[in-house]
A and B are shown apart, each in its own frame.
Chain A
Amino acid sequence: MREKDKLVGTPVSRIDGILKVTGKADYSVDHPIKNAAYAILFKSTIAAGTITNIDSAEAEKSPGVLAVITHKNAPKLNVKGGIRGGAMLQSPAIEFYGQNIGIVVADTFEQARHAAHLIKVDYDKKTPKADFDKLASEAKPPKDNHDEKWGDAKAALGTASYTVEETYSTPIEHHHPMEPHAAIAEWTGNQVTLYSSAQIVNGAQNAAAATLNLSPENVRIVSPYIGGGFGSKGGQWANLVLTAVAAKVANRPVKLALTRNQMVNSVGLRQQNFQKVSLAATKEGKLTALAHEITTHCAIDTEFVEPCGDCSKIMYDTPNALITYKVVPMNVILPTYTRGPGKSTGSFALESAVDELAYKLKMDPIVFRIKNEPAKDPSNGKPWSSRKAVECLQAGAKAFGWDKRKMEPRQNQDGDYLIGYGVAAGTYPAHQRPSSAIVKLNREGSTVTAIVELAAADLGTGTYTILAQTAADALDLPIKNVTVHIGDSDLPPAAGSVGSVGATSYANVVNDACIKLTDELIAKSGKQYYARPTASQLMVSEKIPTHQTRVDSKPLASAEEYSAHSFNANFAEVRVNKLTGMVRVSRFLAVTGAGKILNPKTARSQIIGGNVWGIGMALTEESVLDPRWGNFVTRSLADYHVPSNLDIGDLDAIFIREEDTLANKMGIKGIGEVGIVGVAAAVANAVFNATGKRVRELPITPDKLL
């Protein structure tokens, strides 16, 4: 195939797009299952203590009710089986507000919901630990410690001529995907099929199996479409196994979907962080020390710490660095991976501090960053597989019109509006994970079609499409002749769509399988070729009716020798109303160097989607706890403010050309996470440039700018 005919690298529209916009894509509970009953979870109304009594007599008599399941009658589950967040009805102990304490199963959803209201619960209540402001001082180093140190940062800070030492605060955030966590469970004998929504299909299978005391072969996960996850569907939560429990007890297929309100205490969250960042520099702008001290919270019995210090480890060249973590358990649901885990929040602190330091030095923040560009990974001395951080900054500055930015704040006004420009850099690691795939070819006459199979996930990001492109190129077929089957644990095991490993792992294994398949067809033909024929040509010339192969791919062994990351530069223009403090991001540009871009259209959507969330993180998103009870007061999308269309101005995404076959064979780095990294800092830096006010506590709501 001629290079110009290749589909990889071209903006192919999503092949599942029509299905989705016409409502024909079946998400978890949409699957048409005959005779399904409906289940609803009911939840604790205290955050700490013990259930002393559950009176479900009235509920059990309520019309249509098939079962009420609580810790008193729930089957024994293996709580260490890999389901996150506990709350599986195994004990009367309450560790957070809104913990699952029971399930009602009924013929209809309405009957189940009504019956749930009839249940009376008594508690022995304890005072919850839910006030992070007060508890932060009790935080201790986590057991799984990721502290990092080189040189002597504290000493260097003490003697430096220019320093910044500030604490940055980011609130609890929720993922709130459009599709809430939901599942249908259908048993046949001791085998269960779970129609659900899983970013890691095999992970969900293994966790559900271990928790339900089954072997993995007896659990099938079907998850062809995912209505967003952002990390919350990476690990699986109690709702998945409780659906199976409900179906077992009711002896019927059961559908169980969380309500939007239940999402705030069922499927993890991004924890609140206090991050102290200390930077020191010479008057020429050379960084001499970087300290990043993180304090956060986790669940009462399970540790989870967002790696907020990750960006600080690799962004800048510094002879002295210190990264420390502390965590305090709270009566709040277990935090979990949330888009750009650690990097989005960590970069807010680091990149704000860099902006503050550059301002003190009266130096352009882009110049400052380029001055401190590290030649190799400062944390481990490994060479970069490739790094386009400087190119991102330079290309962005040019495209954005950065030269129009004034160094001093409040110099750019338009009537009642103050206008400001901000920049911030970001990064996310690039990894390939082991995955397997089967590629099958069929021929009818001279028409060859292919089926690609692997237990991959498509979060709505474009996995189906990029795999069809990859296979079509590698097999020399039109894209319409390629069918992609993913999202089913009966298919060959594959990596998850998490941590930006999806596209890399999936596209590499599919490509490998297509190459292997072609090799096999060449061997089968028994002929010698001057120019390597394509699989589709061989199927026709050799009149082969059908052929298939399977490949198990691993990351390149040599990849370990390099430090592989995507990098970006984010540019924000904000307009701040001088009187009301309302901020609008009028322009946003993200420039990304992320290796091979398989599909510029889906890639752009990933980046601008991440940008929108980053803008939300900067300006609007916050889950507020009432520390007296440990419950959230922001439980609906009317209270938890994701940005509305009107909040978002012009968005643009530029990709820097990057060939990186050191990272993996296809040179893919992944873009799902990096799109949010650095965004909040760019907006906050722009707000400073507009107003002269440095907001170190997100979100930047109008009251903070009065």
Chain B
Amino acid sequence: MRPFKYTSATDISSAVKGLAGKPNAKFLAGGTNLLDLMKEDVERPDELIDINRLPLTNIKTITIGTNQGGLSIGGLGKNTDAANHPLVRQQYPLLTQAILAGASGQIRNMATNGGNLLQRTRCPYFYEVSMPCNKREPGTGCSALQGVNRLHAIFGWSEKCVAVYPSDMSIALAALDAVVTVRNASGQERAIPFADFHRLPGDTPEKETSLNPGELITAIELPKNNFANHSYYLKVRDRASYAFALISVAAALELNGNKISKARIAMGGVAHKPWRVLKAEQLLVGKEATEANFRLAATAGMADARPLEHNKFKVELGNRSIVLALQQALNGSKS
């Protein structure tokens, strides 16, 4: 860890102004990712602005605008509180399941919702400063491409970077079409649809989101939907808890009788961003909710997978996981 300046902001405006024009300064939320990376010398900010005291922890029903009737979750609320809030549990159980599938109780108590979205990849080469890594040091090469890549991407990767994005929470948020609201130093707010929030690596794996420098995540908005009775977050991992996903699937169905009127499928552990499986979703709409149709959808969804040397299993596992998650989502209301 290198020496850095530490300040603490108590209101939003001084927080965003404090960061303005300082490319090497960062917000400090729960610190569960940032401080780890600083100890590994991967992140080297020269200034941290502690934003834990900002009044951005509320969870409340949205009363105006396009997402009216939905839920707004404060950017600095703790993951534990978001997962266990009664409105979240009732209306967005998928989000509860996804958050609780991540990390450990202790970490979720520290981790914030905004910080969770911005957590960085767990690629072991990214974490080791003596290794080449385009994400950490653009232009040095990707150690994982020909290296140990069992945990890496099967969709949307580039020769520059094959890392996966590790958040569980975000996989549910992608399926729920969440919107991220952010504020910049001039006090302007903008809303970023979740699908546009994270990026594929392309030629610039160091740029992971569409957040502009200095922007603060103030809230995450969840539009109203009818998925609460038929959703499921499946996480397949190397141990039963406290491990990142090999594959995860957030599945949500809106049913009309046994006919699917809306379907959402997002996958984790497969790409540089939450991976919406649009082909599978489209295939399901208007169909009966049957195992056979789930299988067709899964096969369609996995068709473009491009596995690496050590992660070929993710294609079959992804396929099965989509089917299983959809089945569990379908059974949801019965159980």
Kindly identify, within residues 100 to 130 of chain A, every residue whose CB is under 8 Å from any CB belonging to chain B. 110, 113-114, 117
Nearest A residue to B124 via CB reads A633
Q: Which of B1, B127, B148, B324 contacts A626 (CB 8 A)?
A: B148
Q: Are B238 and A701 in contact (CB under 8 A)?
A: yes
Q: Are A703 and B317 in contact (CB under 8 A)?
A: yes
Q: Are A633 and B130 in contact (CB under 8 A)?
A: no
Q: In the assembly, what is the distance between CA of A504 and CA of B236, in Å?
A: 45
Hey, which chain A residues are within 8 Å of B236, CB to CB?
A: 580-582, 702
Contact indicator per residue, chain B 217-255, by CB within 8 Å of chain A (1) or not (0)? 000000000000000001011111111101000000000
Q: In the assembly, what is the distance between CA of A675 and CA of B122, in Å?
A: 34
Hey, which chain B residues are within 8 Å of A416, CB to CB?
A: 324
Hey, which chain A residues are within 8 Å of B150, CB to CB?
A: 703
Q: Are A581 and B317 in contact (CB under 8 A)?
A: yes
Is B187 in contact with chain A by the CB < 8 A criterion?
no
Hey, which chain A residues are within 8 Å of B240, CB to CB?
A: 582, 584, 644, 646-647
Q: Are A629 and B131 in contact (CB under 8 A)?
A: yes
Q: In the assembly, what is the distance between CA of A325 and CA of B251, in Å?
A: 52
* Interface locus among A210-218, A350-358, A470-478, A635-643: A635-643
Q: Are B239 and A641 in contact (CB under 8 A)?
A: yes
Is A706 in contact with chain B by the CB < 8 A criterion?
yes
Hey, which chain A residues are within 8 Å of B244, CB to CB?
A: 638
Q: Are A633 and B321 in contact (CB under 8 A)?
A: no
Q: In the assembly, what is the distance between CA of A397 and CA of B292, in Å?
A: 42
Known: A619-B239, A626-B148, A643-B239. A114 touches B3 (CB 8 A): yes
Is A631 in contact with chain B by the CB < 8 A criterion?
yes
Q: In the assembly, what is the distance between CA of A636 and CA of B127, in Å?
A: 10
Is B147 in contact with chain A by the CB < 8 A criterion?
yes
Contact indicator per residue, chain B 88-127, by CB within 8 Å of chain A (1) or not (0)? 0000000000000000000000000000000000101101
Q: Are A113 and B1 in contact (CB under 8 A)?
A: yes
Is A605 in contact with chain B by the CB < 8 A criterion?
no
Q: Are B239 and A117 in contact (CB under 8 A)?
A: no
Q: In the assembly, what is the distance between CA of A59 and CA of B143, in Å?
A: 29
Is B316 in contact with chain A by the CB < 8 A criterion?
yes
Is A31 in contact with chain B by the CB < 8 A criterion?
no
Is A620 in contact with chain B by the CB < 8 A criterion?
yes
Known: A580-B317, A638-B122. A117 touches B243 (CB 8 A): no
Kindly identify, within residues 608 to 643 of chain A, every residue whose CB is under 8 Å from any CB belonging to chain B. 619-620, 624, 626, 628-629, 631, 633-636, 638-639, 641, 643
Nearest B residue to A583 via CB reads B240
Is A205 in contact with chain B by the CB < 8 A criterion?
no
Q: Are B246 and A703 in contact (CB under 8 A)?
A: yes
Is B189 in contact with chain A by the CB < 8 A criterion?
no
Q: Interface on chain A toward B: helix, strand, loop, or mixed SS?
A: loop
Q: Which of A619, A633, A641, A701 contacts B125 (CB 8 A)?
A: A633
Is B128 in contact with chain A by the CB < 8 A criterion?
yes
Q: Are B128 and A706 in contact (CB under 8 A)?
A: no
Q: In the assembly, what is the distance between CA of A508 and CA of B242, in Å?
A: 43
Q: Are B243 and A641 in contact (CB under 8 A)?
A: yes
Known: A620-B239, A634-B124. A706 touches B313 (CB 8 A): yes
Hey, which chain B residues are within 8 Å of A639, CB to CB?
A: 122, 124
Kindly identify, within residues 1 to 55 of chain A, every residue whose CB is under 8 Å from any CB belonging to chain B. 45
Hey, which chain B residues are within 8 Å of A558, CB to CB?
A: none
Q: Which of A45, A580, A584, A628 contacts B324 (CB 8 A)?
A: A580
Hey, which chain B residues are within 8 Å of A644, CB to CB?
A: 239-243
Q: In the assembly, what is the distance between CA of A559 and CA of B316, in Å?
A: 57
Is A579 in contact with chain B by the CB < 8 A criterion?
yes
Is A645 in contact with chain B by the CB < 8 A criterion?
yes
Nearest B residue to A631 via CB reads B128
Q: Are A645 and B241 in contact (CB under 8 A)?
A: yes
Q: In the assembly, what is the distance between CA of A635 and CA of B123, in Å?
A: 12
Closest CB in chain A relative to B225 CB, distance in Å: 27
Hey, which chain B residues are within 8 Å of A113, CB to CB?
A: 1
Q: Which of B1, B130, B313, B320 contacts A45 (CB 8 A)?
A: B130
Is B309 in contact with chain A by the CB < 8 A criterion?
no
Kindly identify, within residues 139 to 193 of chain B, every residue whose CB is under 8 Å from any CB belonging to chain A. 143, 146-148, 150
Q: In the assembly, what is the distance between CA of A161 and CA of B128, in Å?
A: 54
Q: In the assembly, what is the distance between CA of A701 and CA of B245, in Å?
A: 12
Kindly identify, within residues 262 to 291 of chain B, every residue whose CB is under 8 Å from any CB belonging to chain A. none
Q: Which of B1, B239, B324 contacts A579 (CB 8 A)?
A: B324
Q: Which of B3, B125, B317 contacts A706 (CB 8 A)?
A: B317
Hey, which chain A residues are within 8 Å of B148, CB to CB?
A: 624, 626, 633
Is B323 in contact with chain A by the CB < 8 A criterion?
yes
Q: In the assembly, what is the distance between CA of A117 and CA of B43, in Å?
A: 13
Contact indicator per residue, chain B 1-38, by CB within 8 Å of chain A (1) or not (0)? 11100000000000000000000000000000000000
Q: In the assembly, what is the distance between CA of A645 and CA of B242, in Å?
A: 10
Nearest B residue to A46 via CB reads B130
Is B41 in contact with chain A by the CB < 8 A criterion?
yes
Hey, which chain A residues are within 8 Å of B147, CB to CB?
A: 626, 628, 633
Q: Which of A45, A643, A645, A702 contacts B246 (CB 8 A)?
A: A702
Q: Are A580 and B321 in contact (CB under 8 A)?
A: yes
Q: Are B323 and A635 in contact (CB under 8 A)?
A: no
Closest CB in chain A relative to B150 CB, distance in Å: 8
Contact indicator per residue, chain A 81-94, by CB within 8 Å of chain B (1) or not (0)? 00000000000000
Q: In the assembly, what is the distance between CA of A550 and CA of B134, in Å?
A: 66
Q: In the assembly, what is the distance between CA of A620 and CA of B237, in Å?
A: 10
Q: Which of A45, A626, A641 contacts B238 (CB 8 A)?
A: A641
**Contacts A/B (CB < 8 Å), 7 sampled:** A110-B1, A579-B321, A580-B321, A629-B131, A702-B238, A702-B246, A703-B150
Give residues in A with beta carbon < 8 Å to B: 45, 110, 113-114, 117, 261, 416, 579-582, 584, 619-620, 624, 626, 628-629, 631, 633-636, 638-639, 641, 643-647, 699, 701-703, 706
Which 9 residue pairs are nearest across A and B when measured between Cβ atoms? A45-B130, A646-B240, A703-B313, A633-B124, A646-B241, A580-B236, A647-B240, A579-B320, A644-B241
Give residues in B with beta carbon < 8 Å to A: 1-3, 40-41, 122, 124-125, 127-128, 130-131, 143, 146-148, 150, 234, 236-244, 246, 313, 316-317, 320-321, 323-324
For the complex with contacts A581-B317, A631-B131, 7 further pairs of A-B residues with Cβ separation under 8 Å are A113-B1, A117-B2, A631-B128, A638-B243, A647-B241, A702-B238, A702-B246
